Amino acid sequence: MSNEPDGLRKGSSRNDAPVATAEPASSSDSARVSPADAFFKNLTRSAGLGLLVLIAAIAAFLVLEATNALSANTGNFLTTTEWFPNSSPPFFGVAALLFGTLLTAVIAMVIAVPVAVGIALFITVYAPRRLATPLAFIVDLLAAVPSVIFGLWGLIVLVPRMEGIQKFLTEYFGWIPLFATQNSVVGRSVFVASVVLAIMILPIVAAISREVFLQVPIAHKEAALALGATRWEMIRTAVIPYGKPGIISASMLGLGRAMGETIAVALVLPASFGISWKILSPAGNTIAANVANGFAEANTVGRGALIASGLVLFIVTMIVNMIARAVIARRREFSGAAA
Amino acid sequence: MATRIDVSGLTAYYGKFKAVSDLHFSIEPKSVTAFIGPSGCGKSTVLRTLNRMHEVLPGARVEGRVLLDGEDLYGPGVDPVNVRRAVGMVFQRPNPFPTMSIYENVVAGLKLNGARKKSLLDERAEQSLRGANLWEEVKDRLGRPGAGLSGGQQQRLCIARAIAVEPQVLLMDEPCSALDPISTLAIEDLIAKLKSSYTIVIVTHNMQQAARVSDTTAFFTLDKTGDPGRMVEMDKTEKIFSNPTEKRTEEYITGRFG
């Protein structure tokens, strides 16, 4: 995963380390840089700087818009669950939306990631080549399809058929608080929204996991087999540990998509504001869906409030990504980057 | 623990390509047997048929019999997983599991066999690392990544991993070809030591190495590209290197061919 040189990789390369880690020649070579080199260097530099400026401008705009709305807010933005930014005085908070966003995204991950990893393992390890090649092609193809297509399919085909599963869950597992319901079971629940999200992110997580598993060196797989590992034991000893950083990255990409998904969730959830763990009850909302539902009829403060909620989503996504990076970095020296 | 190997009528294929044809030979218990020969002669293929690693590659298959103390590895109902637990293997490039520590690497095979008791694992880890002449170098950093060791140490770690499950036979596929001379010497010393407990078969490109470490040497060759490899002769190592029966062998070991 990393291109950083590792001087300890092999005994014989230790002696070469001082040479290999010598500073990239930039200052000493600058005297004889060709015009094409200079042009390309400036091109890439301005592209990089331009991106930073763009991000800063967006952030400044969002913060400015949000601050106006937040200063008009009579509620606590972080703890209030109601959302009345268009009334006067405005009273709104992101708590219920944030809760809904995290809950749907996490349930979607719990459903999608194991299935996606299973698909990837089947294609890379179990399937005969005749089957693996077309399957891999299809998964890659599906990953390239915009997720809203899966969302629509989920809504039209899946949601009407989810009622039975939901009834089953609440009847036999209702003793688990998560599956309890206070009123009748209908399609429009957090659970159904999560299933739709799971279907949306499944192909991308599966496609990336497959790529990752393909990178596992044959030497490691053979090492496990030669120790008398069965195929599943080989997967557990060599394939999954090696692919773990990649699976985490793929999951984060899926999580980002799940948290940012708008239309599908907006269509499924009844857009109620409240914090409830009862995922089968018809309730719930997410930040992205709320933006989609509310932006058209929002006044200035209302728009600022939605932008503020968007900033929260931005920050949460960043925190989740940073945690994921930290998890990967913690075991970096065991990641296989050195081998 | 050591075991004799009797091979008869062994033919190995990669898809339609016949890699080696109709081999017959025997390997004595507690001896070191070296396979030498030019590239592509099928010596590594033969080695990999001895623990059923050959068939791991897509399209690869084997005909003939490989008897391990009289029991056919390719008999009906024989699970290749059990074969590989009895016949350990060390590969050309050191391949410790990069996601595991030194300790975890050594006990990986034991854990696959279901061993869970910490005291037993600790004991076997030390015993195997001592067996592989690596204990003194790594005993203070067993929790460090196995991939952080030098190449020679990694290869000895792989040998420790292979002998930790106490196999009957140890196969080595050019175990020193990726190592520097000092690490090579360390591995050769180790082979001499391991001979007292294991039946060892080693593939090597280095004829001096074959002469140094082995009791018996088998010379393989192929007549032309596309033909299956064949065994020219197999005899006591000193005889192969001083007075071989076949002219081809003599040409090869004196460097006039191959």
What is the predicted ipTM?
0.89
Contact B86, B199 (CB under 8 A): no
CATH number (domain holding residue A277): 1.10.3720.10
The number of distinct structural domains making up chain A is 1
CA distance B37 to B232: 9
Q: What average pLDDT does range A172-190 have in this prediction?
A: 72
Strands across the sheet with B169-173, in order? B87-90, B169-173, B199-203, B32-36, B216-221, B230-236
The CA distance from B99 to the nearest CA of chain A, in Å, is 4
Q: Coil, strand, or helix at residue B145?
A: strand
Q: What would the pLDDT profile of B10-31 be if each residue is shown by its tens digit?
A: 999 998 899 998 899 999 999 9
Domain presence at residue A193: yes
The whole-number pLDDT of residue A61 equals 86
Q: Which positions 129-168 of A are in contact with B (Cβ < 8 Å)?
A: 129
Asked if the Cβ–Cβ distance from B165 to A227 is below 8 Å, we say yes
Domain presence at residue A40: no
CA distance A75 to A333: 48
CA distance B52 to B69: 16
Domain presence at residue A36: no
Q: What would the pLDDT profile of B204-222 be if each residue is shown by its tens digit?
A: 988 889 999 999 999 999 8
CA distance B258 to B247: 13
Find, in chain B, the residue whose alpha carbon is nearest to that of A126. B58
Q: Which residues form the domain of A132?
A: 91-338
More confident residue, A181 or B149: B149
Residue A30 predicted with pLDDT over 60 = no
CA distance A265 to A200: 11
Q: What average pLDDT does range B94-105 have in this prediction?
A: 93
Give yes or no for B162 touching A (CB within 8 A).
Answer: yes
Q: What average pLDDT does range B73-84 have in this prediction?
A: 91
Q: Residue written as tokens 């770690």?
A: B157
The whole-number pLDDT of residue A190 equals 84
Find, in chain B, the residue whose alpha carbon is nearest to that of A331. B99
Longest Cα separation, chain B:
56
Domain presence at residue A333: yes
CA distance A213 to A236: 12
Residue B89 predicted with pLDDT over 60 = yes
How close are the terminal C-alpha atoms of chain A, in Å? 11
Domain presence at residue A66: no
Percent share of chain B, pLDDT over 70:
98
Lowest mean pLDDT among A30-44, A128-142, B126-140: A30-44
Q: What would the pLDDT profile of B150-205 be if each residue is shown by its tens digit?
A: 999 999 999 999 999 989 999 999 999 888 888 898 889 999 999 998 999 999 98
Q: Which of B82, B91, B98 sits opposite A336 (nearest CB)?
A: B98
Q: pLDDT band for A182, please (50, 70, 90 cuts).
A: low
Q: Which of A226, A230, A338 sits opposite B89 (nearest CB)?
A: A226
Residue A29 predicted with pLDDT over 80 = no
Q: Tell me the average pLDDT of chain A.
A: 81
Give yes or no for A230 touching B (CB within 8 A).
Answer: yes
The whole-number pLDDT of residue A31 equals 64
Q: pLDDT band for A4, please (50, 70, 90 cuts).
A: very low
Domain presence at residue A149: yes
Residue type, A192: V
Q: Looking at beta carbons, which residues of chain A come within 8 Å of B150?
A: 8, 10-12, 14
**Phi and psi for A45 in degrees, rounded to 5?**
-65, -45
Domain presence at residue A15: no
The whole-number pLDDT of residue A18 equals 41
Domain presence at residue A83: no
Tell which of A14, A239, A242, A334 to mutate to test the B interface (max B CBs under 10 Å): A334
